[in-house]
Structure 1
Amino acid sequence: MNYENISIERENGIAVITINRPTKLNALNKATIEELHKAFKSENEDRSIKVIIITGSGDKAFVAGADISEFANFSIKEGGRLAAQGQEMLFDFVQNLETPVIAAVNGFALGGGLELAMSAHFRIASDNAKMGLPEVSLGVIPGYGGTQRLPQLIGKGRAMEMIMTAGMIDAPTALSYGLVNHVVPQAELLDLAKNIATKITKNSSVAIGKAIQSVNAGFEEGVNGYHTEIRAFGECFGTEDFKEGTTAFLEKRKAAFPGK
């Protein structure tokens, strides 16, 4: 599939999706969100892809925000629809993907950009990265899950401060907050992401998908995460990956998971 705003590279079971709008600092417009949805869906359905890395082109920005010109004149109804459709199409979709997603934050991750990074299963950042949710400075609030995911990741108080001040934090602060897992020089960012991804590819993709489902359940209102875990744990026993993993362990060899 040909894309205008993103590119995809695949190697050794790892897909790297790069948002490629450098003149707009990779800002998310409607077309880019639609392309990202299609790309994540396609890579998730490809059995050969075990991990997806999402990053931005250039050395300045992961995603510098949403394309404000697209919604500056929206009505209340249109604004609500924008948030609902965006969350369903991309942000919630990524969070609940069975294939693990790593956000490699290579510069500014602001507004919708930080919300996209937070939708990933975890984040690593370059040492020049800056992150923030500046929406209140425009008279609006984060609408792509930012008010929900940021407190989950860094705590209510810190999230409130970031949202209310509309300020940015640097990469070391993001690391100390637990917003990102690692900070490295920009030249080393993709190598680190691929190194972590390679470790993930050696494990059962079926089990990883069920682990993602179980962890996410603990953050969903009205859902008992423990019950989800118990059900998913039991389901693992009926998979070929479980049979291969336990057999390999008993035979003292490395498992070759079929991903079924």
Structure 2
Amino acid sequence: MALMRGVAVAWLLGSRGLPFAAATARASTAGAQYQHILVGKKGEKENVGFIQLNRTKALNALCDSLMKEVSQALDEFENDPAIGAIVITGSEKAFAAGADIKEMENKTFQECYGGNFLSQWNRVATTKKPVIAAVNGYALGGGCELAMMCDIIYAGDKAQFGQPEILLGTIPGAGGTQRLTKAVGKSLAMEMVLTGDRISAQEAKASGLVSKIYPAAQVVDEAIRCGEKIAFNSKLITAMAKEAINGAFELTLAEGNRLEKHLFHSTFSTSDRKEGMSAFVEKRKANFTDQ
């Protein structure tokens, strides 16, 4: 949710933004329609949606309008049949250093509760297509929560993760206490949330928060490469697999197994299941049609 005292993240991190890595900025094709993000398609077949947070001077602090733009971009990629996966990244200095404190500073309980403040942020977690976070630099507060809403997290070797809201007299409000606990366990989640301390990319991987670590200059390309692998598969079956895995966090083991079995049986009504098994038997590459 929050980063630290004031979005002027100068309190600890300094307020200078770094220029985007040239490789990332070059491939953004639709950024003109957005103010706070760069949007484009990546991969050899342009089948990976790409969203880059673009508030570098504020270390990509997550204001409400930025998150609305992210939701809009996700909607566009969801409705694009060519897109099989989506990558979200920030700059080399910061994935996102927190929520915009200036935007929240004067809000009242009535405004937050009545308006269900931050509820729209969950759009990242409800996207049917797989979302990969490519995290460099700071992923703190809302930035850590945004990364955890994604399905896969790749981290640069200098990345840092944290939930420092306690230092601002509040608590995480966009899933931080829930997703972090499920990812790293009660003890480490308690320590991070109650102290505001950060963990390194290496600690994040050891605790299960991220799946892979790469040098900072490679992490975005590796996330796109992962997206391309996912996009090769049937988008229909991929969505079923994602639903089944997410069910493990919300259901009992018995209920989760029933959901899995139902979805598994459902694949036998698809053309892609038949094509995949036929291709295996015939020793050829499958040609999925998302049917």
Q: How many residues align?
A: 256
Alignment-derived partner of residue 48 in structure 2: 14
Taking the TM superposition and a 5 Å limit, the aligned residue runs for 1:96-135 are: 96-135=126-165
Alignment-derived partner of residue 36 in structure 1: 70
In terms of mean alpha carbon deviation, does 139-148 or 71-80 score higher?
71-80
Amino acid at match of 1:259: D
Query: 2 CA distance for matches of 1:96 and 1:73?
Result: 29
Structure 1: segments with no counterpart, 5+ residues: none
Residue 219 of structure 1 deviates from its aligned partner by 1.2
In terms of mean alpha carbon deviation, does 230-239 or 124-133 score higher?
230-239
Query: 2 CA distance for matches of 1:250 and 1:138?
Result: 59
Q: Say whether residues 1:250 and 2:281 are aligned partners.
A: yes
Query: 2 CA distance for matches of 1:249 and 1:224?
Result: 31
Query: 1 CA distance for matches of 2:186 and 2:114?
Result: 26
Amino acid at match of 2:99: A
Amino acid at match of 1:227: R
Task: Note the aligned Cα RMSD (angstroms).
Answer: 1.6
Instruction: Give the match's secondary structure for 2:106.
Output: coil
Alignment-derived partner of residue 4 in structure 1: 35
Instruction: Give percent identity, aligned residues only.
Output: 41
Alignment-derived partner of residue 250 in structure 2: 220
The ranges of structure 1 where at least 4 consecutive aligned residues each deviate by more than 3 angstroms after the TM superposition are none
Query: 2 CA distance for matches of 1:250 and 1:64?
Result: 49
TM-score, normalising length: structure 2 = 0.84
Q: 1:221 to 1:249 in 2, by over 3 A?
A: closer
Amino acid at match of 2:61: A
1:44-70, Cα deviation, whole Å (9 max, x unpaired): 12110011000003x210000000111
Is the CA contact (8 Å cut-off) linking 1:102 and 1:122 kept in structure 2? yes
Residue 78 of structure 1 deviates from its aligned partner by 2.0
Query: 2 CA distance for matches of 1:67 and 1:234?
Result: 45
Q: Which residue of the other structure, out of 104, 108, 116, is the alignment partner of 1:75? A: 108
Residue 81 of structure 1 deviates from its aligned partner by 4.9
Amino acid at match of 2:50: V
Structure 2: segments with no counterpart, 5+ residues: 1-29
Query: 1 CA distance for matches of 2:114 and 2:231?
Result: 37
Instruction: Give the match's secondary structure for 1:163.
Output: helix
Query: 1 CA distance for matches of 2:118 and 2:274?
Result: 39
Query: 2 CA distance for matches of 1:173 and 1:80?
Result: 35
